[in-house]
A = this chain, B = another copy of it.
């Protein structure tokens, strides 16, 4: 345990939801170090929360607790779980949002947060982030053993891996997952997949929304202002960007869900 608890939620920062969770954590684990990652996940967007978790997880020290509350099914019968994987802990609803934890180490351990001993009382129907998830994260940060929190879960819900497919060894088809704040379009295509197609990045071209981009750039400021470029971004995925400008604005709103084709030239 190092006492670090990261928070990823879709609660926004306009009300007291996140503040109440922080109070619960500090009441149980006064020494905890709470780290805001984001509270601006679009409401209920499990896949986006999972990507954010994936992009930060490896940078945290062993023993960190990642608390992810994007939970559109709160109050229904979905399970609440805690996972130990690759030396870290993950707490959240069993709706696939913790996929990066399962992916990081196949020998993960997953437990349901079923022991009411470790819940706030009374548990509300509508705010398990405060009443079930925050207490679990705090107890883990304090050193309580994972298996104390409830009963073992063998088959947690996994996130579907999407519709990405390699058509041939000449061509790779993926899609944009989201536009970041700079208007960069983050795709589901990884650097490794690009390299399977060609190790020479200058021999690849990208097609998106009817536009064609030749070659994979090294960094954002490469090329004339406003020029569309493709590059491998800091998340390790192919991005479509526009130098000193927004690729999203350039290509229009359909770009956020667009198909992206990579081919050899």
List A residues at the B interface (Cβ < 8 Å). Answer: 2, 4, 6, 8, 11-24, 26-27, 30, 33-41, 43-44, 51-53, 55-56, 58-61, 64, 72-76, 124-127, 130, 180-182, 218-222, 231-235, 244
Given contacts A27-B59, A126-B231, A222-B75, contact A19 B34 (CB under 8 A): no
Interchain nearest-CB distance for A178 vs B (Å)? 8
Q: Collect the chain B residues with CB atoms within 8 Å of residue A22's CB.
A: 6, 35, 37
Q: Which of B6, B16, B41 contacts A37 (CB 8 A)?
A: B16
Given A125-B231, A180-B14, also A30-B61 (CB < 8 A):
yes
Interface SS of chain A: loop
Whether the Cβ atoms of A220 and B27 lie closer than 8 Å is no
- The CB with the most chain B CB atoms within 10 A, among A13, A26, A74, A232, is that of A26
Residues of B within 8 A of A14 (CB): 38, 40-41, 180-181
Contact A35-B37, Cβ < 8 Å, known A16-B56, A219-B126: no
Contact of A26 among B33, B126, B180 (CB under 8 A): B33
* Interface pair B76/A221, CB less than 8 Å apart: yes
Contacts of A13 in B (CB 8 A): 13, 36, 38-40
- The CA-CA distance from A14 to B48 in the complex, in Å, is 10
**Across the interface, which residues of B come within 8 angstroms of A73, CB to CB?**
221
How long is the Cα–Cα vector from A219 to B131 in the complex, in angstroms? 14
Determine how close the nearest CB of chain B comes to the CB of A202; give it in whole angstroms. 15
A138-B178 Cα distance, complex, nearest whole Å: 31
Residues in chain B near residue A127, CB distance under 8 A? 233-234
For residue A15, give the distance in angstroms from its CB to the closest CB of chain B. 5
Nearest B residue to A49, CB-CB: B16
Contacts of A44 in B (CB 8 A): 244
Q: A181 touches which one: B43, B51, B74, B232 (CB < 8 A)?
A: B43
Q: Can you pick out 9 interface pairs between chain A and chain B where the beta carbons lie within 8 Å of each other?
A: A13-B38, A13-B39, A15-B38, A15-B55, A16-B37, A16-B56, A26-B61, A72-B244, A124-B233
A6 touches B30 (CB 8 A): no
Does B19 lie within 8 Å of A37, measured CB to CB? yes
Docked pose: A33 CA to B27 CA in angstroms: 13
